[in-house]
Amino acid sequence: MIAVKSRSELELMKKAGEITATALKLVEEAIKPGVTTGELNQIAEEYVLSLGAVPLFKGVECPVSGGLDFPGTLCVSVNEEIIHGIPGLRQLKDGDIISVDMGVSYEGFCGDAARTFPVGTVSEEALRLIQVTRQCFFEGMKAAVKGNRIVDISRAVQQHAQKNGFSVVREYVGHGIGRELWEAPQIPNYVTLQRGPRLEPGMTLAIEPMINQGVYDIRILNDKWTVVTADGKLSAHYENTIAVTEDEPFILTKLRGEVF
């Protein structure tokens, strides 16, 4: 069952979303060659905890048998890493791209967002991948309107990615969000045989395109968390938590006063 949020619940989700967006902005400002992924994680964690919020990724049980619980506040994925990269001692280099994903709970409600950033000077193709992935989110959001179905979001994301020569990850999808980080429904970034439920005002969704430069196939590293492209080519990730309304969808994970 998909939870429909009240106006007061949406206001709490906006607070959680603003914390999430602000933490990601602080991380973005710290990204440069030589900084470690662990240092970026510390910046986000200290900010979130200072506001009495809870980092939702930290301690999540590994989905692969035998893996350790996730140790970071952030998932930090570099270059060919798609998602679930573990923050640590890795130093960023000029020309890298870095995907940062984060979930936060505040006063019982969740925010979830991801961004991919360039490190220093990156190639034109890497920058195009980042830009197309970001636009894939906005194309999907345009379809997240009252009366549409989940498949309309999926189709919009897939069409934009493939039109630009990129591929869409199949194994991982967007999701509903609210009191829990992962709620119904699942939101694939590609068209499946399932149309999904009709969208109603008050539904809150995390739309998150994961777009690859090469093939869409993936593999999981020995740490049992980090997901990488099967061909070693670049991947980018962009996500926001949104609310379906009577009119246009509304982004909940944004800075106060931010206009996209």
The answer to whether residue 1 sits within a structural domain is: no
Q: How many CB atoms lie within 10 A of CB 33?
A: 13
Residues of the domain holding 197: 7-251
Question: Is 12 in contact with 108 (CB distance < 8 Å)?
Answer: yes
Residue 149 domain flag: yes
CB 228 within 8 A of CB 80: yes
User: What percent of the chain has pLDDT above 90?
Assistant: 94
Question: Per the domain annotation, does 51 fall within a domain?
Answer: yes
Any idea what the CATH number is for the domain that residue 128 is in?
Answer: 3.90.230.10
Q: What is the mean pLDDT of residues 17-36?
A: 98
Average the pLDDT over 92-107 and give the result. 98
CA–CA gap between residue 221 and residue 163 (Å, rounded): 30
Within a domain: residue 257? no
Examine residue 190 and state whether it is found in any structural domain, yes or no: yes
Whole-angstrom distance, CA of residue 130 vs CA of residue 244: 25
Which residue type is seen at 222? Answer: N
Would you state the structure tokens that stand for residue 110, as one six-digit string?
Answer: 């969740």
Task: Assess if residue 98 is contained within a domain.
Answer: yes
Tokens of residue 48, six digits = 């979130």
Per-residue confidence band for 258, with pLDDT thresholds at 50, 70 and 90: confident
Q: Which of 16, 48, 20, 44 is nearest to 30 (CA)?
A: 44
Q: Tell which residue, 127, 120, 82, has the closest CA to residue 100.
A: 82
Question: What's the number of domains the chain is made of?
Answer: 1
Each residue's pLDDT tens digit, 198-257: 999 999 999 999 999 999 999 999 999 999 999 999 999 999 999 999 999 999 999 987
Report pTM. Answer: 0.97
Domain assignment present for residue 260? The answer is no
From 1, 111, 117, select the one nearest 54 (Cα to Cα).
111
Q: Could you tell me if residue 259 is inside a domain?
A: no
